[in-house]
Structure 1
Amino acid sequence: MSTIRVRAQESDGIVTVRALMTHPMETGTSKDAAGDLIPPHHIDVVTADVGDTNVMTAYWGVTISRNPFFQFQFEGNKGDTLKLAWTDNQGGSDSVEATIG
């Protein structure tokens, strides 16, 4: 099951992408029930590609909230395939593809 939900819609040559990611985004400063620090666990890099072209790269850190939602725009075409992917500081990753509508 993917941790990313994405929707990409084109209007007048501009594609608007809305994405919701499921991720704990731990800062490393919170404590668990036993009082021990929870290690940092956050998304570092988010990329969006259409074919072989990167249309967006975001570098994130501990300041992004749990289960982040974000939106961005780029020039694109209806029917193209968008690939959205993330990697985190613990080596985790996920990606999803969506057809631009």
Structure 2
Amino acid sequence: MSNTIKVRTNIQDGLAVIRLLIKHPMTIQRLDPKTGKEIPAHFIDKINIAKNGESLINANWGQGVSKNPYLSFTLTEAKKGDRLLVSWHDNKGETDSTEFVL
């Protein structure tokens, strides 16, 4: 079970609405107001989603995505029992993933 990815799904008549909430700071490069030192950016740069082992979404993200990003999409031809794998990678090498069944 993922520590950073929350999933909600709704499947009806072959359509599945998938909602993902990813806990991540998604910060831009900035200066510390107290010390004036540079604080490096920390953001998700890749997100991948696969259904039953077949790649569905491969997205490159950047600093313009807000804190704790929310991603929603509709999956056609969805069936109960389909397995989805969601994974992300950030610019500091951190990763997380979760697999769930519709």
TM-score (norm 2): 0.87
Q: Residue 93 in 1 paired to residue 92 in 2?
A: no
Residues 35 and 80 from structure 1, CA distance in 2 versus in 1: closer, same or farther, beyond 3 angstroms? same
Say if 1:26 and 1:41, in contact at 8 Å, map to a contact too: yes
Size of the aligned set, in residue pairs, is 100
The 5 Å alignment of 1:1-101 reads 2-31=3-32, 33-75=34-76, 76-100=78-102
Identity across the alignment (%): 35
Residues 97 and 87 from structure 1, CA distance in 2 versus in 1: closer, same or farther, beyond 3 angstroms? same
**Which deviations, in whole Å up to 9, do the C-alpha atoms of 1:3-52 show, x marking residues without a partner?**
11112221221111101111111111353542222101100111111122
Q: Which runs of 5+ in 1 are unaligned?
A: none
Say if 1:23 and 1:67, in contact at 8 Å, map to a contact too: yes
Amino acid in structure 2 at the alignment position of 1:93: T
Q: Which runs of 5+ in 2 are unaligned?
A: none
- Measured on the aligned residues, the alpha-carbon RMSD in Å equals 1.5
Amino acid in structure 2 at the alignment position of 1:78: K
